[in-house]
């Protein structure tokens, strides 16, 4: 059995030990920067959810595979620039990084043109970190209402907690925000903190190095 497949099985077992609703938790295998030969064993095993940071890299890696395997779901987890929206809507099934009114309008326009609906998470910058994308907390309601009025399928919120702080504090905060908005899904938790995220009701976790190994 390939390492990445065994690693995925180990993660699933850890989730099983942590959550009674483990079947509802989707593991996004974050394949950004990894070459196809590292990813194919997981595709052959039957794993369906993959995360990429950059639209161009994803196009080169996934266009052919997605055309053959229609049930694969591709998640854009990195910042989306407005000039890449057309390509993103073409290729991706989920966007985890909606963070501005301008981007919401652009995605809505492109969805209409392509007659395609993506599932969307609003990324919230809970730590007010300048270097990180995500909507500020005091602008979240306005962005959410705008996205709904544009008929975007917003399914939940997403965050990347500050590295220097206990992620549980931020996961709990995002969970409460999600509940207040009446949203069902939560995208939070990575290789180092996914158990804490699941304890705060994360439904989509984004795992890279714990599946594929360290990036060179």
Q: How confident is the model at residue 216 (pLDDT cuts 50, 70, 90)?
A: low
Global pTM? 0.96
Mean pLDDT of the chain: 95
The C-alpha atoms of residue 72 and residue 206 are separated, in whole angstroms, by 16
| Per-residue confidence (pLDDT) for residue 215, from 0 to 100 | 75
Q: What is the pLDDT of residues 56-83, one digit of tens each?
A: 999 999 999 999 999 999 999 999 999 9
Reduced to 3 states, what is the DSSP secondary structure of residue 95?
A: strand
Q: What is the DSSP letter of 163?
A: T
Instruction: Tell me the DSSP string of 15-46.
Output: HHHH-TTGGG-EEEEE-TT--HHHHHHHHHHT
Q: What is the pLDDT of residues 24-34, one digit of tens each?
A: 999 999 999 99
The C-alpha atoms of residue 1 and residue 59 are separated, in whole angstroms, by 28
Q: What is the pLDDT of residues 110-133, one digit of tens each?
A: 999 999 999 999 999 987 777 778
Q: How confident is the model at residue 164 (pLDDT cuts 50, 70, 90)?
A: confident
How many structural domains is the chain composed of? 1
The C-alpha atoms of residue 32 and residue 51 are separated, in whole angstroms, by 7
| Per-residue confidence (pLDDT) for residue 128, from 0 to 100 | 77
The helix-helix angle for 101-114 and 140-149 (nearest 10°) equals 20
CATH of the domain at 23: 3.20.20.10
| Per-residue confidence (pLDDT) for residue 176, from 0 to 100 | 97
Q: Which stretches does DSSP call E strand in the chain?
A: 26-30, 49-52, 73-76, 94-98, 119-123, 153-158, 185-187, 204-207
User: Phi and psi for 184 in degrees, rounded to 5?
Assistant: -95, -30
Mean pLDDT for the stretch of residues 25-47: 95
| Residue 191: domain span | 3-212
Q: How confident is the model at residue 55 (pLDDT cuts 50, 70, 90)?
A: very high
Tell which residue, 139, 123, 88, has the closest CA to residue 109. Answer: 88
Q: How confident is the model at residue 21 (pLDDT cuts 50, 70, 90)?
A: confident
User: Phi and psi for 50 in degrees, rounded to 5?
Assistant: -135, 145
Reduced to 3 states, what is the DSSP secondary structure of residue 76?
A: strand
Q: Report the percentage of the chain scoring pLDDT > 90.
A: 88
């Amino acid at each position: 059995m390939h390492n990445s497949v065994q690693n995925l099985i180990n993660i699933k077992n850890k989730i099983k030990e942590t959550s009674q609703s483990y079947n509802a938790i989707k593991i996004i295998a974050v394949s950004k920067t990894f070459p196809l030969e590292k990813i194919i064993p997981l595709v052959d095993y039957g794993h369906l959810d993959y995360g990429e940071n950059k639209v161009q890299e994803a196009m080169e890696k996934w266009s052919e595979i997605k055309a053959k395997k229609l049930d694969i779901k591709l998640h854009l987890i990195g910042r989306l620039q407005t000039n890449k929206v057309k390509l993103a809507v073409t290729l991706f099934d989920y966007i985890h990084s909606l963070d501005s009114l301008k981007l919401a309008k652009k995605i809505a326009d492109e969805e209409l043109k392509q007659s395609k609906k993506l599932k969307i998470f609003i990324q919230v910058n809970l730590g007010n970190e300048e270097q990180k994308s995500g909507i500020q907390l005091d602008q979240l309601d306005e962005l959410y209402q705008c996205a709904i009025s544009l008929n975007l399928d917003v399914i939940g919120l997403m965050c990347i907690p500050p590295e220097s702080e206990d992620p549980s504090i931020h996961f709990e905060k995002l969970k409460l925000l999600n509940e207040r908005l009446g949203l069902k899904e939560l995208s939070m938790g990575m290789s180092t903190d996914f158990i804490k995220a699941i304890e705060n009701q994360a439904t989509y976790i984004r795992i890279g190095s714990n599946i594929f190994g360290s990036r060179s």
